[in-house]
Amino acid sequence: MKGLLKRWSFWCLLGLAALALFGTRLFDALPEAEVAAPFSKPLWLDRSLPPTMDLELSGGHPAVELDWTFSAPSRFSLRVETALPAPSRFVEWTLPGGKTFRLTPLNGGVELDGRDMAFKRSLGLPPFGDASSALFPERGTYRIGLTGEGEWEGSVKIRLEGGRWGLLGTDQRGRDIAALFVAGIRVSLLVGIFATLLATFLGTSLGLAAGYRGGWTDAVIMRTVDLLLSIPLLPILMALAALWGKGLWQLILILSVFSWMGTARTVRALTLTLRDAQYIEDLRGLGAPASYILRRHLLPETLPVLLATMTLGVPGAILSEAGLSFLGLSDPRVISWGRMLHEAQSFGAFTAGAWWMLLPPGLGIALLCLVFLDLGKYLEERVDPRLRGGNVL
Amino acid sequence: MSGYWARRTGSALLVLGLVLVLNFVLFRMMPGDPVASIIDPNFSPEAKARLSEVYGLDQSLPVQFLRYVRSTLTFDFGISFLTGRPVMEELKSRLPNTVVLLGTSLVLSSLLGTWLGMKAARKRGSLLEKCVLWSGALSFSFPSFFVQLVLLMAFAAALPLFPLRGTLSVPPPAEGLPLLLDYLWHMALPVFSLVLLGFGGWALYVRNLMVKILGEDFILLARARGLPERNIILGHAFRTLLPPLLTIFLLSLPGIVSGAVITETVFSLHGVGRFLLEAVTGHDYPAAGASFFLLALLTVSCNLLSDLLYGLTDPRVRMERGGGR
């Protein structure tokens, strides 16, 4: 097992699993929350666009200075929360040139939006567009402060929605792609592992039965395998997903019912060679029942091989799940990488040029598949050292 | 010898029969009242009953099944619930696109893959071999739709070299050469993407097989006899490579046909796969059943064809007894 610690894939899988378990805690908001403007670019991408910002003013912190080196933000909104209204005090907005706007008196429950007509009229602005372009006409130092002196209990919250947000930007609904990406790991891992476990269970039992019993059992099972391997399965999966509802567990069940064939073939072949081995024959001669022989002798013999085929089967399940989700045949409430790509395609990522919506989920799927392929290769080489050095990874 | 052909054809027919049953069960079990999707809720109950009768939905299931088999075998798939046009007409306009898409990409990727794989096997340890090994591993781990979306984003949205969607421009250009060129222009990116996704797997298989073959005694003997290298590779090694290559082709067919659904959806092509997706999501039984049947028919007939070719390339399989492959 020491070799396992040297494989990059093992550590990668450990990291991804940790992210799947605890990753959502890295973010303040839930992955479903709409945190910024739709199609915001990642923070590191376009430095001339303003990032999305939240400013807060209060009695103890009455002024903020902003060094503005960007174009105007796309949206401006302001909220005043207080229990002590102060109608003679104002929120004052000073432009770099010295011009000032008095935005609003400090009354409780004030909510201003840059698109609001009355707000724009009160500032003496034309009624078209968002007020933010008038509030941010140039680059320079802006000062936002409260007028008047003395104590005031309350807070002014200003939100400037820019074109950039977070590590990976936002999607068409303004959700944080980094948070969605982390939430998607969970679905891919769950589906990949559980669908393969179930499929392996099915394949092993059917393969053992076919190999050990022979005769009709063998014929029926192996003809079914041939049939399922010779027709396109995606249409069937699509029909079943549409028919059965789109829940995660239904999906796992559907995927496993149609992916046990390879395992069954391998196990059957192994069983066939073992069935006539001397020690199995001796056991039969001693009167051991078939169930005992299968459970205590044949199954343990096949286990190492099974472990390898199982690991190599995970990418298939992950890719199938992603494909079905991409076609829109998954639960829209469950965040998965396939679903993210589906939404990127159906909701205008192309017209927005939002390539940052495509890359994280797609590369995530590929990485996870490579991890399992590499682990499978490792296990396969442990089982059969002749395979060593054959392939990359 | 004729027994081999008969057995293969028989098993193909059996598969087709099972596909029919599966098809019927699957698409009759789909949820939702199909009639509800084509009529106004304000229709009178009599009108609804009349429509059920037109579509044969008032009969018992066994009767429906027999009718279904009879009509499917005569390629009469009924009328689509969604478009109101005969399904056969819809499919006829779409099938050529699917066949062209899959056929071209399959031929190109298998040729490219075989060529690269053979080269890689002859030059062990070279850069080319490493590339082949990596492209194989990557083609098993990258989701096809992701690669296609990225290509679309890069070469159709960011750099408008290729069209974003469709098989023909709207409105289509005049008949003749401009029409053909327009069609090729639309198909170029989908076909390229499928070749890109497909050749890695082929190359990897061919390389692995070829490495094994080149280590066999008969190759050593051929070398000892002083045969020219070209002769050894093409005459001896390639000949031995063909039968297992056909097996792999056979096994990959269903996946390739399944891939049509995804490719046609990404590129919005006017093909059978996308029609199937629309039918499945729209509860359009006749259309969904017919498209699935057609895709299965395509797979089974290609399967049969390569089985027969297999018999031609490898005399041993013609002698084999029993049905096992």
Chain-chain contact of B276 with A238 (C-beta, under 8 angstroms):
yes
A-contacting residues of B 5-44, CB under 8 Å?
11, 15, 18-19, 22, 26-27, 29-31
What whole-number distance in Å separates Cα of residue A370 and Cα of residue A368? 5
pLDDT at B295: 87
pLDDT at position B315, please? Answer: 73
Q: Which residue from A138, A13, A159 is spatially nearest to A74, judged by alpha carbons?
A: A159
> What chain A residue is nearest to B134 in terms of C-alpha separation?
A392
B257/A232 Cβ within 8 A = yes
A369 interaction partners in chain B (CB closer than 8 Å): 140-142
A189 vs chain B: nearest CA distance in angstroms?
14
- How many of the other CB atoms lie within 10 Å of CB of B175? 8
Cis before residue B171, ω within 30 degrees of 0?
yes
The 3-state DSSP class for residue A393 equals coil
**Looking at beta carbons, which residues of chain A come within 8 Å of B246?**
none
Contacts with A353 from chain B: Cβ below 8 Å: 153, 157-158
Q: Residue A381 — pLDDT band, cuts 50, 70, 90?
A: confident
Q: Which of A234, A257, A265 to mutate to test the interface with B (most CBs of B within 10 A)?
A: A234
Put simply, the chain A residues between 94 and 133 with a CB less than 8 A from any chain B CB are none
Q: Rounding to the nearest 10 degrees, give the CA dihedral for residues A262, A263, A267, A270.
A: 60
Lowest mean pLDDT, pick from A78-92, A311-325, B28-42, B226-240? B28-42
The span from the CA of A80 to the CA of A197, in Å, is 55
pTM of the model: 0.85
Alpha carbon distances (Å) from A238 to A121, B27, B30, B99, B288: 55, 11, 11, 21, 10
Q: Does residue B131 belong to the interface with chain A, where contact is any CB pair within 8 Å?
A: no
B180-215: pLDDT as tens digits? 899 999 999 999 999 999 999 999 999 999 998 988
Closest CA to B253 of B307, B210, B208, B290: B307
Give the model's confidence band at B36: pLDDT under 50 very low, under 70 low, under 90 confident, else very high. low
- Please tell me if residue B142 touches chain A, with a CB cutoff of 8 Å: yes
pLDDT at A326 over 90: yes
Cβ contact, residue pair B150, A362, below 8 Å: yes
pLDDT of residue B325: 37
Residues in chain B: 325
Please report the residues numbered 259 through 318 in chain B whose beta carbons come closer than 8 angstroms to any beta carbon of chain A: 259, 261-262, 265-266, 276-277, 280-281, 283, 288, 291-292, 295-296, 299-300, 303
| Cβ within 8 Å, pair B141-A315 | yes
Average pLDDT over residues A188-197: 93
Chain-chain contact of A231 with B26 (C-beta, under 8 angstroms)? no
**Per-window interface: A 315-334 vs B, CB < 8 A:** 315, 319, 322-323, 326-329
Tens-place pLDDT, residues A349-379: 888 888 889 999 999 999 999 999 999 988 8
